[in-house]
Amino acid sequence: MPALKLENVYKSFGSVDVLKDINLTVEDGEFVVFVGPSGCGKSTLLRVIAGLEDATKGSVFIAGEQVNDTPPSRRGIAMVFQSYALYPHLSVKANMSLGLKQEKQPKDLIETRVQKASEILSLNDYLDRHPAELSGGQRQRVAIGRAIVREPKLFLFDEPLSNLDAALRMNTRIEIAELHRTLSASMVYVTHDQTEAMTLADKIVVLRDGRIEQVGSPMELYNNPANKFVAGFLGSPA
């Protein structure tokens, strides 16, 4: 069963059509990367998958279930944003626990999950700190940790590395690839960085002006770009 299926998904804000006839399948365990220029609809598409926005038309299926009317917290997904969105007044541990607490999960389950996530992300020594006492890379790891503890079937990442400097970006990218292997979860990842797309993706989805321009493996798209636009995005020889 696919992790995610989008059928004829449209999204409009007023008279502005932002997503147009999106059809896409993410297989179980697959790492799918959305690329495309700023404003082409990448974040909106993630938000429609997450349930933070309603599709104007079309269907969203997660693990085989139609979720158009399912609230975000019940979709079995977790989202990591570019801006981390951590609570400044809460410790690392409290930030990571919050989602599970709101779900009213038992204390020992929360403890075990936070422990496990902080080991995976090397955050054990930082659990009592506050976000202001962390580096950008550590903050992003906490944001990823907050997603991991929910043990989602599907992770959604919206340009998670774009606030990090080049060296940290590379390290964190490698960590995300390792995470994908360790958790064998399905991931949908938005970036405008060609290296991230080429190295992380099983499948790349190129978006342009709210439509899917081409879908394929990094090598397929690199070697056989449908047009100059796709070639330009993936660095293929013109």
Residues linked to residue 13 through DSSP beta bridges, in sequence order: 16
Burial class (CB in 10 A: 0-12, 13-18, 19+), 124: exposed
Which range of residues in 34-42, 105-113, 125-133, 196-204 is near ligand ADP by CB under 6 A? 34-42
Which range of residues in 31-39, 123-131, 166-174, 177-185 is near ligand ADP by CB under 6 A? 31-39
Which range of residues in 41-49, 84-92, 102-110, 142-150 is near ligand ADP by CB under 6 A? 41-49
Which of 41, 152, 216, 218 binds ligand ADP (CB under 6 A)? It is 41
The residue among 43 and 138 lying less far from Mg ion, judged by its C-beta, is 43
The residue among 34 and 155 lying less far from ligand ADP, judged by its C-beta, is 34
Is residue 75 within 8 Å of 67, Cβ to Cβ?
yes
Please give the Cα distance from 141 to 45 (Å, whole number): 24
Site for Mg ion contains 43 (CB under 5 A)? yes
Site for Mg ion contains 191 (CB under 5 A)? no
Q: Look up tokens 């297989």; give the residue.
A: 27
Parallel/antiparallel/unpaired status of strands 186-190 and 31-35: parallel
Which of 38, 71, 166, 237 binds ligand ADP (CB under 6 A)? It is 38
Q: Is the dihedral of CA 228, 12, 22, 192 positive or negative?
A: positive
Site for ligand ADP contains 191 (CB under 6 A)? no
Is residue 66 within 8 Å of 2, Cβ to Cβ?
no
- The site for ligand ADP, by CB under 6 A, has a size of 11
Token pair of 130 as six digits: 């506050």
Question: For 227, how many CA atoms within 13 A lie in the half-sphere containing its CB?
Answer: 7
Which of 8, 23, 39, 57 binds ligand ADP (CB under 6 A)? It is 39
Site for ligand ADP contains 6 (CB under 6 A)? no
Please give the Cα distance from 101 to 112 (Å, whole number): 13
Which range of residues in 33-41, 167-175, 195-203, 219-227 is near ligand ADP by CB under 6 A? 33-41
Site for ligand ADP contains 160 (CB under 6 A)? no
Token pair of 121 as six digits: 């992300």
Q: Which chain residues interact with Mg ion by CB under 5 A?
A: 43
Q: Which chain residues interact with ligand ADP by CB under 6 A?
A: 13, 16, 18, 36, 38-44
